[in-house]
Structure 1
Amino acid sequence: MISEHASPLATQGGVDSGGQNVYVAYLARELARCGHSVDVFTRRDSPDLPRVVQCARNLRVIHVRGGPEQAIPKEALLPWMTEFSEEVLGWCRAQAEPYDVVHANFFMSGLAALRLRDELGLPFVITFHALGKVRRAHQGKADAFPEARLDIEQQLVRQADRIIAECPQDRQDLITHYAADPARIDVVPCGVNIAELGFGDGLSRDRLGLPEDAFVILQLGRLVPRKGIDNVILALSHLRHQLGIDATLLVVGGESALPDPVRTPEIARLGAIAASASVADRVIFTGRRARADLRDYYCAANVFVTTPWYEPFGITPLEAMACARPVIGAAVGGITHTVVNNVTGYLVPPRDPIALADRLARLHADPVRAQAFGHAGLQRVRRLFTWKKVAEALIPVYGAVCASPAADTLDAARMKAASV
């Protein structure tokens, strides 16, 4: 597996640390648990990182060079991908036993995968996690990725052996915007570790210092503008000042364990919005939290809210559902696939704080309905969205790629590479 900017060892919640990190980490572990040998290649962003980390039986994370050994925004990494690809290629060439298949994550990892196929004959599948054309349509000039991303993605769509779409909307976007061949797309969602999440012990609020009678709204994940946290703050203001409902918003995430507006500028922006909306005293920024702590935050909340403008999939709604929390999500992208309106929560338009406040008020007024939504979400996650089910769906895709007619040509390339 290749995941150039999203290390499976990173703590969730930073600007460039979110759903992709979780996807790679838990999928790799589940594949290893199934008996497959998995190496995950990711960029070395600190000189203190060891070359190889043995994470579990059959699973290693390999740090390779790709530019300066420091944190670099993913939007600025493309110039370093040639070096990154060379490093991955060098490692693969040195192995006594060749890999069978490459799973690239994100378009820049796809460049390395293309190099491995050209030089070593390795077939590859790719999960894009986000698509440049769709992102640009939603973010416009705020999208800082280089223009070259669009051409690279188009090339990868044409040349990947298989494409993994994370939800039906992702599949449709690939077909509509990139003319992808529907026969080469497999829809396989993200998952949740239901052993790590789930029902709490009833003491979550005590541990977090939250009053038992508070109505708590949770927003958790990367703190970037497109996540629409400003929309939640404005909904909180409407809830409090127009509907007369007191509530507290927990905002979990950031670049450090303390809510530092210097290291996480989005905290400063959101804090200013909260102040202008007269709810600064009801918005609590917690900073980044380790995954082991997340269950308490989910279980302490009355409702989980996520209203991004654009979301290719979104793992946090599933995590909240795994903790039996009702979810209010924006009716965009993968959220429309995971959250079932009026069954596991509500779907609302993005950037519509009035609609969001209305649904929050409904849950506040009807805790029995909120509990029913939470239990329905838990059952949906257990039925469809465990990492075990994700791995079981992907393993046949890997096998089909290795056994496809094109594999004969790739075998010839392998023999040529072995003779060099």
Structure 2
Amino acid sequence: MGKSRRVAFLSEHADPTALLGGVDAGGQNVYVDEISRNLAQLGYTVDVFTRRDNPDTPEVIEWAPGVRVIHLTAGPATFLLKDELWPLMPEFRDAFLRFQERSGTHYDLIHSNFWLSGWVAAELRERLRIPAVQIFHAMGITKRRHQQEADTSPSERIQVEHEIIQRVDRLIAQCPGEQHELIEDYRADPAKIVMIPSAVNTSLFYPVNREEARRRVTCELHSDDFVIVYVGRMLPRKDARNIVRALAILLHEHGPLPSVKLVLVGGESMEPDPPLTPEIGALQELAAELGVADRVVFVGKRQPEVLRYYYCAGDVAVTTPWYEPFGLTPLEGQACGRPVIGSAVGGITFTIADGETGLLVPPRDPAALAERLYQLFKDRALCERMGEAARQRVEREFTWPVAARRTAELYQALLQEWRQPVSTITRASSRR
């Protein structure tokens, strides 16, 4: 399908070679990794450009057949939070151009991730005269709306996002909510937006027998335990505190329920370390304060190849952030054949079929979450039915090969458009 087309993937902070679960290593890393690999299987050649954050990292890594990861020098070769990278983007752009000139590589299309790389893509589009596709992963206006004073984004972010939307050729929305944001908040041309849901690797996340999974995880779980599992980054906005509060309400209202346990997977280190991951410390204090510390198990960071055992060791997976643009962990839990309770925000309202593959609850409402947990605690058959339906729906609608095929179709249509006389370069300029 791709006819050996070469694509430049820009992802300034989300390096597909990075370990997942850290502060700025999550869904975007997975997206870049999976889409690039699957595009390569369709015949594309993909170079992923990311920022060097370690002096020992090779400039070029042959990451997968047809996929290279290229580390560009922009600022110090050390880890920086993504919100600190905006001043470095001109240097990132120039480093890309130097690499291209030095290597003699020609790219047919740019696919940029996040607003920072989006600005670089818009710049390169004009210099190189090649089309640009943008996926934001998160929108600045939405983030500011939900995080308010906790939003650490640069003040220029929203204005730059407006400019990117005008300057690139296509915008990928991951769910109807993001499509709505682009149109309503940013006045994006609906004709430029293509909805391509992100997905889950169903050969990595799949159902495992519960007893076997409980034997494989690194925490002690008994066969008769009712296990609630959270997998994700340990950040305030992910609101694992809401789950701890719900656990306390569940035990207080319906207790003692001695078999109920909560397993929290995530953090900056393999072992739970509050100094390295302050949110773990906050959760430990909260659990102690609410009298449920003996029911809460902290696991630390785990990589994707073992995460399925943690999902499958649970009876139900829970993720109740108060802000989530899309969220891949609900899909991971469902791919593992477990029902997922999620907050009714962002893409979670799209990936969980409420009442069929899981349950939706209001964010920041631990009492509502506790009631849903009790519903599943009482009805294990409902848990099983939802888990089976969840896996089936993921296989139908949310796999990376499907997402990559849709992306390739977008590329093909856009490249064909650019081959037309008086092409989109003129038309795109007229939109500005």
Range class of TM-score, shorter chain: over 0.9
Kindly report the root-mean-square deviation, in angstroms, between the aligned alpha carbons of the 2 structures.
1.6
Please say if residues 165 and 188 of structure 1, whose CA atoms lie closer than 8 Å, have aligned partners that are also in contact: yes
Q: Is residue 252 of structure 1 aligned with residue 260 of structure 2?
A: no
- Residue 93 of structure 1 and its aligned partner are, at CA, apart by 2.9
- Contact 2:238–2:320 (8 Å) recurs in 1: yes
Aligned match of 1:117 in 125, 137, 147? Answer: 125
Query: Structure 1 residue 401 and structure 2 residue 424: aligned?
Result: no
2:216 matches 1:207: yes
Equivalent positions of 1:302-317 (< 5 A) are 302-317=315-330
Aligned to 1:108: 116
Aligned residues: percent identity?
47
CA distance in 2, matches of 1:104, 1:371: 40
Which structure 2 residues correspond to residues 173-322 of structure 1 after superposition, within 5 A? Answer: 173-201=181-209, 202-208=211-217, 209-244=220-255, 245-246=257-258, 247-322=260-335
1:151 aligns with 2:159: yes
- Return the alpha-carbon distance in structure 2 between the equivalents of residues 259 and 349 of structure 1: 29
Residue identity matched to 1:284? V
AA of the residue aligned to 1:381: V
Partner SS state of residue 286, structure 1: strand
1:121·1:411 contact (CA, 8 Å) conserved in 2?
no
Deviations 1:272-295 (A, max 9, x none): 211211112222221111111101
Cα distance change, pair 75–408 in 1 and its aligned pair in 2 (3 A)? farther
How far apart, CA to CA, are the structure 1 residues paired with 2:419 and 2:173? Answer: 21
- Asked if 1 retains the 8 angstrom alpha-carbon contact of 2:417 and 2:423, the reply is no
User: Bigger shift: 168-177 or 74-83?
Assistant: 74-83
One-letter amino acid of the structure 2 residue matched with residue 203 of structure 1:
E
Q: Which amino acid aligns with 1:227?
A: K
For residues 100 and 134 of structure 1, the distance between their equivalents in structure 2, rounded to whole angstroms, comes to 32
Aligned partner of 1:285: which letter?
Answer: F
- Equivalent in the alignment of 2:375: 362
TM-score for the superposition, normalised by structure 2 = 0.93
Q: Across the two proteins, how many residue pairs are aligned to each other?
A: 413
CA contact (8 A) 1:85 1:111 kept: no
Matched, 1:30 2:42: no
In structure 1, the gaps of 5 or more residues are 414-420
Counterpart Cα distance in 1 of 2:164 and 2:395: 33
The range that moved more, 77-86 or 388-397, is 77-86
Question: Is the CA contact (8 Å cut-off) linking 1:121 and 1:410 kept in structure 2?
Answer: no
Cα deviation, residue 369, structure 1:
0.4
> What is the alpha-carbon distance in structure 2 between the residues aligned to residue 248 and residue 127 of structure 1?
38
Distance 2:360 2:21 in 1: 23
215-224 vs 193-202, greater mean Cα deviation = 193-202
Give the structure 2 partner of residue 416 of structure 1: none
Give yes or no for contact 1:231–1:307 (8 Å, CA) kept in 2. Answer: yes
The residue type paired with residue 380 of structure 1 is R
